[in-house]
């Protein structure tokens, strides 16, 4: 899971951090993302939530909770993509914010915790994805963030 986060980190650096006038080490560690479409990526880095989410996935994997680790990693990415697409909000919006990507990411990521624990519990009880209960669990793991995305898109629509 840590490798997935590091690939995501490097992709974000390539897409949103300018390399000119910077050393490779400075670009990798200190260069700030630029542009409006990098708001969520920059916010995750500056708040430290990117690194905390990666540490949680790595720690749960080390403890043997692979389903929780995979769920938090997958929901991190889903929440990021959803925040990237649905987050921009017109200037002059209620409460004066121009981007709500952080809220979409946060809700989806927090949803990963109970869903991952549910998957862990099912795994401890011997439920496999080949069984009927396992297929229902897998469907719930996939549909839960997608349903959240649909509801958020409907709420954002004029």
Mean pLDDT of the chain: 83
Summarize the confidence of residues 65-90 as an average pLDDT. 87
For residues 16 and 33, the answer to whether their CB atoms sit within 8 Å is yes
pLDDT at 35: 61
Helices 39-47 and 49-62 sit at what angle, rounded to 10 degrees? 70
pLDDT in tens, 18-73: 777 767 776 677 677 766 567 888 888 888 999 999 999 999 999 999 999 999 99
pLDDT at 15: 84
Check residues 146 and 153 and name the one with the higher pLDDT: 146
| Tokens 């624990």, located at residue | 117
Number of helices (H), then strands (E), belonging to the chain: the values are 7, 0
pLDDT at 127: 87
Question: How far apart (Å, rounded) are the C-alpha atoms in residues 81 and 32?
Answer: 20
pTM, full prediction: 0.83
Does residue 138 register a pLDDT over 60? Answer: yes
């Amino acid at each position: 899971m840590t490798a997935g986060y590091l690939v995501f980190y490097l992709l974000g650096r390539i897409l949103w951090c300018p390399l000119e006038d910077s050393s490779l080490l400075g670009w990798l560690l200190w260069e700030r993302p630029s542009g409006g479409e990098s708001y969520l990526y920059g916010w995750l880095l500056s708040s430290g939530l990117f690194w905390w989410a990666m540490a949680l996935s790595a720690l749960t994997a080390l403890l043997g909770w692979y389903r929780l680790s995979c769920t938090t990693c997958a929901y991190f990415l889903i929440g990021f993509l959803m925040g990237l697409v649905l987050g921009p909000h017109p200037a002059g919006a209620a409460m004066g914010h121009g981007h709500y990507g952080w809220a979409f990411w946060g809700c989806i990521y927090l949803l990963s915790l109970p869903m991952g624990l549910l998957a862990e519990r099912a795994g401890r009880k011997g439920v496999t994805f080949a069984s009927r209960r396992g297929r229902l669990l897998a469907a719930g793991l996939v549909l839960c963030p997608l349903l959240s995305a649909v509801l958020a898109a409907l709420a954002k629509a004029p």
